[in-house]
Amino acid sequence: MANLTNVSCDYTGGGVYVYSALFNNEVWLYGGLDWYFGSYDIPGPTIDDTDQDYDAHWKNPSVPFPTWNEILDSLREYYGDDPNLYYAERQLRNANPDMNERCIILDDDSSLKDPPPAPAADRSDRLETICEFIEAFEEFLDEKGIVIPNDEKEQDPESASNIYGTDYGILSDKIEALLIRYGVLKGE
């Protein structure tokens, strides 16, 4: 079992969740759930806020990196009953079909393998497209003064959108299925 502490996962918009955790009390994992992680000597957000020199802060742990399943377990612990876990897990599983694979794969020479080229960008674009459809629905509902009742919004009433939580996921899945059926998106 991976030792993952100080876990955080922030929604940055466009369907992207950014994960951060201290692994094995020696390196910070940081990256989008739809792409790949880096492994650093300080937290990723600190690098963002200071020199932005990720290469200079790269650090390998003394033990193998955790698997995507172990990352998912840490997310489940972090989110608890929060409905946002559904979206973070969905993004993680879509980007990483083999959940038993390690979150960072090193070549024999201990350098990071090149990240997969287009698929992750395609997934990000895919999520952004679906998000734009949902936002159009939300704007329409807001203009008409329609508020969709949703018990999940009670947990976060100030920042909750009109289409929120499980409702968002259901609508997202239906829009994606329609876009695939009409050839706008390719099936995964």
Q: State pLDDT tens for residues 11-53.
A: 877 677 889 999 999 999 998 887 778 899 999 889 888 888 8
Do the domain assignments include residue 113? no
Predicted confidence at residue 157, as pLDDT, reads 60
Do the domain assignments include residue 154? yes
Q: Are 21 and 7 in contact (CB under 8 A)?
A: yes
One domain for residues 89 and 148: no
What six digits make up the tokens of 165?
Answer: 């939580």
User: What is the domain count for the chain?
Assistant: 2
Do the domain assignments include residue 102? no
Predicted confidence at residue 82, as pLDDT, reads 85
Tell me the pLDDT band of 105, cut-offs 50, 70 and 90.
low
Do the domain assignments include residue 161? yes
One domain for residues 86 and 132: no
One domain for residues 122 and 89: no
Predicted confidence at residue 160, as pLDDT, reads 65
One domain for residues 16 and 87: yes
- The domain in which residue 10 lies consists of 4-95
In the predicted model, is pLDDT for residue 137 greater than 70?
yes
One domain for residues 158 and 126: yes
Do the domain assignments include residue 110? no
pTM (2 decimals)? 0.58
Rounded to whole angstroms, the Cα distance separating 72 from 36 reads 14
Q: Domain end: 95, 110, 133, which one?
A: 95
One domain for residues 30 and 80: yes
In the predicted model, is pLDDT for residue 116 greater than 70?
no
Q: Residue 115: what residue type?
A: P
Exposure of 13 by Cβ count < 10 A (0-12 exposed, 13-18 middle, 19+ buried)? exposed
Do the domain assignments include residue 107? no
Greatest CA span in the chain, whole angstroms? 60
Q: Which ranges of 39-117 would DSSP assign to H, the alpha helix? A: 44-49, 54-57, 68-79, 84-95
In the predicted model, is pLDDT for residue 93 greater than 90?
no
Instruction: Report percent pLDDT > 70 for the chain.
Output: 81
One domain for residues 14 and 87: yes
Do the domain assignments include residue 56? yes
Do the domain assignments include residue 66? yes
In the predicted model, is pLDDT for residue 112 greater than 60?
no
